Amino acid sequence: INVSLGPGNPELITVKSLKTLQESTSIYCPGTADKNGNFKSRSLTILQALPVDTTRIHCFPVPMSKDRTEANRMYDQIALEIQEKINKGEIVSITAEGDSGFYSSGNYLFEKLSNAGIPITTSAGIPAFIAAGALAGLHIVKQEEKLIVLPGTVSSGELQGLIEKNYVIVIMKLSQCTDEIHRFIAKNPSLHVHYFENIGATGELYCQDKEEIMTKEFPYFSLMIIKK
Ligand code: SAH
């Protein structure tokens, strides 16, 4: 079962996802290993704050390189482990932070399991940019406005084209495009820029001050909502 946990605040998990976790005999939780080899995982932090049996949690580090070879090797290994458990009659959940339908690398694992004939069900979650809109009290899109969600590969020129076409823009994975974003904001002083860090988690930040945003190094858990 593909279980979305919401963006950080444990209260933002759905009742359905929580029930699924409580009924699971194994809960697989992805994370990363930092420089010192310590396991770090937003999913695990959320899980630990929820009424679930922590002895059922299995953490696994996913290598964070652009080249996905190493990551896929880890997913292959986990897929085999999960297949064995399912063959023994276990109920296995795999967690994703936010909603698992948005930029979630775990989908590689589900594809593998599905190809092996294992039925997958998915429980929806609140994506980070929806929680961001609520935190800022934004009416994210109104009337005829259109929304576009972009990853960190976006360029300043692409953003310019979209804003001129009246798109409301959500940019995720900001740490990959800091310079492009700074360039774009500098060229468009009248824009409304809503910047967020660590929504619903330790270090939560909401900022609209462009001068401050312009000097920031964006961390991994940051996103932006930009409106004309
Ligand atoms: N599935 C997630 C997104 C995973 S991709 C979702 O639905 O939100 C990771 C990117 O999501 C980060 O680079 C950041 O842009 C955004 N993100 C996820 N959680 C966040 C949080 N709590 N605060 C700020 N940004 C977050």
Express each pLDDT in 112-165 by its tens digit: 999 999 999 999 999 999 999 999 999 999 999 999 999 999 999 999 999 999
Q: Which atom of ligand 1 is nearest to the CA of 201?
A: 22
| CB-ligand 1 contact for 133 (6 Å cutoff) | no
> pLDDT digit string (tens) for 180-210?
999 999 999 999 999 999 999 999 999 999 9
Q: Is the CB of 198 inside a 6 Å radius of any atom of ligand 1?
A: yes
Provide the token pair at 14.
Answer: 């759905």
Nearest protein Cα to ligand 1, atom 5: 103
Cα separation, 201 vs 55, whole angstroms: 23
CB of 218 closer than 6 A to ligand 1? no
Residue 212 has pLDDT above 90, yes or no: yes
CB 108 within 8 A of CB 141: no
Q: Degrees (nearest 5) of the Cα angle 92, 42, 132?
A: 115
Of all residues in the chain, the percent with pLDDT exceeding 70 is 100
Which of 198, 204, 223, 226 for a ligand 1 pocket mutation test, highest count of atoms within 8 Å of Cβ? 223
Q: How many separate helices (H) and strands (E) can be counted in the chain?
A: 8, 11
Selection from 43, 31, 39 nearest residue 4 by Cα: 43
Q: What does the pLDDT read at residue 35?
A: 83
Q: Label residue 61 by pLDDT band (50, 70, 90).
A: very high
Q: How far apart are CA 81 and CA 85, in angstroms?
A: 7
pLDDT tens digits for 83-93?
A: 999 999 999 99
Give the Å distance between the CA of 197 and the centre of ligand 1: 9
Instruction: Count the neighbouring beta carbons within 10 Å of the beta carbon of residue 109.
Output: 25
| Banded model confidence at residue 30, pLDDT cuts 50, 70, 90 | very high
Task: Answer whether 223 contacts ligand 1 (Cβ < 6 A).
Answer: yes
